[in-house]
Every structure is written in structure tokens, then in C-alpha cells.
Amino acid sequence: MITRNTEQQWGWPSKLLHWLTALLILIQIPLGIYADDLANSPLKLELFSWHKSFGILILMLAIMRLLWRMAGSIPTLPDANLAQRRLANLGHSLLYGLMLLLPLSGWLMSSAANRPINWFWLIELPALTGPNKALKEIAEEIHEASVVLLLVVLAVHIGAALWHHFKLRDSVLKRMWF
């Protein structure tokens, strides 16, 4: 079992962080949309508590992923030209940026709405700001626009992985799988 990333393969920590983050994001998006559509109720509050807790967990995992990525090497793209490498870098940069922006904008939105975040009912996170209706609305717009952008970037990311696997028949998808 490879621990560290190599030029040809992702190490198991990278794989674990990747797939755990992916699973949480795939839960997070429909959970947030569903909870937002509900009328005010105890169920809505409960679902948003889960949504906020998962969001903070994604933020922590994204930071861990970035630190792990900076500490080691990154496998090279097989037979990729300059344009493909730049597009891959842009896509990954957008994914990392959104994995940071979405939870931070949600945290800011909750803080500005004076709705504390109790992370899995264990730790109450400090407010990033005091109550501020205008700031809450700006954070909400950023959060919602970022979800749409994330859906687009994820579709391209997944499509590119499948294209590499089925069309190019290279190792790009296999080396991120266990």
C-alpha cells in the first residue's frame, strides 16, 4: 500500500481524502437544496444542522487535502499536452477553491443571520461576524452561485475522469481508485 504520492500513483491518504470529500459533497448538495425548500419546522432546523456540520467537515478535509498535496508530489498526467495540463490544473484549483468558499460562505451566512453552528452537536463554532442582514444576503448569494459553479465543475471533473478511463484507456481514474 502506497502512503506517499508518487509520479505515477496517488497514495492512500490522498485517495481516502478524495473519496470521503466526494461522498460528503454528493450528500451535501441535495441535503442543502432539500432543507432550503422546506417550510420552517424542526425538521428543517435538524437538516440544516447536519448540512452545516458536513460543510465544516468538508472545510477541514479540504484543508487537510491541500496540506497533504503541498507536502508531497502530484502524479503527472499521462500523455497530456500543455492545454490539457492547464485545464486539469484549473479544474482542480476551482474544486479546491469551492471546497473552501462554500463552507466559509455558509459559516459567514449563519453568523450574519445570528444562527450558531454546532458542529455535530459537539462544538459551537465562533461567529465570524455579528448579526448583519446585508452581509447575510451577500454570503447567501455567494453560497448559492458557488453551488451552481460546483455542479458544473464536478460534471466536467467526472466527465474528464470517465473520458480518460473509457476513451483514452489511461491510468488517470485507476490511480485514484483503491
In this prediction, residues 115-125 reach a mean pLDDT of: 97
Q: What is the pLDDT of residues 3-29, one digit of tens each?
A: 999 988 999 999 999 999 999 999 999
pLDDT given at position 148: 98
Rounded to whole angstroms, the Cα distance separating 131 from 91 reads 35
Question: What pTM value is reported for the model?
Answer: 0.94
Q: What is the pLDDT of residues 57-66, one digit of tens each?
A: 999 999 999 9
- What's the sign of the alpha-carbon dihedral 92, 94, 98, 100? positive
Q: What is the pLDDT of residues 129-150, one digit of tens each?
A: 999 999 999 999 999 999 999 9
pLDDT given at position 106: 98
